Structure 1
């Protein structure tokens, strides 16, 4: 497994393998002069999924959250509503009324799932 920056278009992506909470992932990306990844379109998402699979990243945080307004899924960096999504069927479901952050899950083709923000998993940054 190798972490590091990878280019796609005009953006660089960092694949972090350290298991961290959503807030820690957000801070780590900022410390690297980047931000937690926001997925803008299908082409970007295909690239990220392909890279995650190549790097054996089983799951990872993306910057989507509804922590500040239930069922209003927005990017934490810009507070824009997500125009592109890749939810797993039946998601988001806010299981146990405690799932307010989004991760991509490799075992289901990296479809998105809402998850407790305190779970510790890898992350992807962009700059």
Structure 2
């Protein structure tokens, strides 16, 4: 769970959820009914963040239409909307630090997820990844257990596009920069052979300079937000933040 005072803290008094049902063509060859979750982040009321903007749309009459604009733009993850200006600002990250924004009376903030991604997760539809950043400090094993308990696993970063996205997402909020993160990957079984949670052999790495250390005592991946989210091999025994990923599958008729 995320710590008190951050945006993502599960479904509670800080969030409100509505469901938008839209007929659209996503990754299927025929139109399908998609259900989009619009989640309102109470912590950001009367606050706007002006970074990571995908686009800004004018003359939008209500928040439902604004959220639909985000749903229709595959790059969009979240929106700021101000009724007075009828302005809908689309973003490709989910912000997690209200103190990074500016005061703007009447502005509300919503995130959008669909295709089975839970409402309070980050949903990058271009990369087809769905995940939630956890700010609790836990060991590698305890983080795995927590992700597994909700049907998730540690985030898999298996190409440069995912690595760049995670760098952008973590860097988008000042609260995200304070600690390192557990991510999926271990050579605990055979030193030097890095495997993902499902047994696949890893072929992509984003090592920090000087890593991997190739020590039999350092068998788990840690990503460092102060070093462009690059990786080191660590023992896994010290408390770090972690990122749970949910596998999502689109079923076409």
| Alpha-carbon distance, 1:2 to partner | 2.9
Hey, what's the Cα distance between the residues in 2 that align with 1:12 and 1:107? Answer: 23
Hey, what's the Cα distance between the residues in 2 that align with 1:41 and 1:83? Answer: 9
**Structure number, greater radius of gyration:** 2
Alignment pair present for 1:84 and 2:204: yes
Q: Cα RMSD between the aligned structures?
A: 1.5
| Alpha-carbon distance, 1:25 to partner | 0.9
Structure 2 length as normaliser, TM-score? Answer: 0.47
- Tell me how many residue pairs correspond in the alignment: 125
Alignment pair present for 1:7 and 2:128: no
Q: Is the 8 A contact 2:191 2:214 kept in 1?
A: no
Q: Mind listing any 5+ residue stretches in structure 1 that lack a counterpart?
A: none
Alignment pair present for 1:120 and 2:239: yes
1:1-127 aligned at under 5 Å gives the runs 1-3=6-8, 4-9=120-125, 10-55=128-173, 56-57=175-176, 58-75=179-196, 77-94=197-214, 97-127=216-246
Partner deviation per Cα, 1:48-104 (whole Å, 9 max, x = no partner): 1111122332310011111111111111x2111112110012201046x42111110
Hey, what's the Cα distance between the residues in 2 that align with 1:60 and 1:25? Answer: 10
Q: Is the 8 A contact 2:182 2:223 kept in 1?
A: yes
Task: Select the structure with the greater relative contact order (CA < 8 A; seq sep ≥ 6).
Answer: 1
Hey, what's the Cα distance between the residues in 2 that align with 1:121 and 1:113? Answer: 13
SS at match of 1:86: coil
Question: Which contiguous aligned blocks of 4+ residues in structure 1 show a shift greater than 6 angstroms?
Answer: none
SS at match of 1:66: strand
Hey, what's the Cα distance between the residues in 2 that align with 1:26 and 1:112? Answer: 18
